[in-house]
Amino acid sequence: MPQPLRGRGARPTKTLAKRYERTSATSRGYDHVWRKVSAEHRRRYPFCAWCEQSGRLEFAKEVDHKFPIADGGSWYAPDNRWGLCLKHHGLKGQMERFARQTDQLDRLPLWCDDPTARPARFQ
Ligand SMILES: [Zn+2]
């Protein structure tokens, strides 16, 4: 017999709370305002910017911050966002980690806008 639904406070809090922290976009600040801005960006620029730089057309699935929010980047500056397909969103994440590890965060926006300026592995 199914258990009746219980209130939020009655849930086994430990695992749920942990999972929420790790996965919730809302908890990282991606609220309804961002979702609207992101949707509007993809309406205006439907294709992956990284793919376009190499002459391909792929729909953008994520709107990414060129200079990461976590490192002090602007949430809403239009020139700090670009739409990416899932493959390139993953590659951008790797490029961010590389930039942090090599102390080159300030070069990220340039690397996003100019593929020839990127480290070879990200071209
Ligand atoms: Zn792409």
Is 4 among the domain residues? no
Amino acid 2: pLDDT: 52
Ligand 1 centroid to Cα of residue 55, in Å, is: 10
Which pLDDT score is estimated for 95? 98
Q: Is residue 17 part of a domain?
A: no
**CA 6 to centroid of ligand 1, rounded, Å:** 43
Q: Residue 22: its pLDDT value, please? A: 53
Q: What's the 115 CA to ligand 1 centre distance in angstroms?
A: 13
Q: What is the domain range of residue 102?
A: 32-122
For residue 1, give the 3-state DSSP assignment: coil
CA–CA separation, 85 vs 70, rounded Å? 21
In a domain? residue 11: no
Q: What is the pLDDT along the chain (123 residues), one digit of tens a residue?
A: 555 555 444 444 444 444 445 557 777 777 899 999 999 999 999 999 999 999 999 999 999 999 999 999 999 999 999 999 999 999 999 999 999 999 999 999 999 999 999 999 998
Cα separations (Å) of 60 from 4, 12, 52, 96?
41, 37, 10, 19
Q: How far is the CA of 107 from the centre of ligand 1 (A)?
A: 20
Question: Has residue 107 been placed in a domain?
Answer: yes
Quote the ligand 1 centre to 5 CA distance (angstroms).
Answer: 42
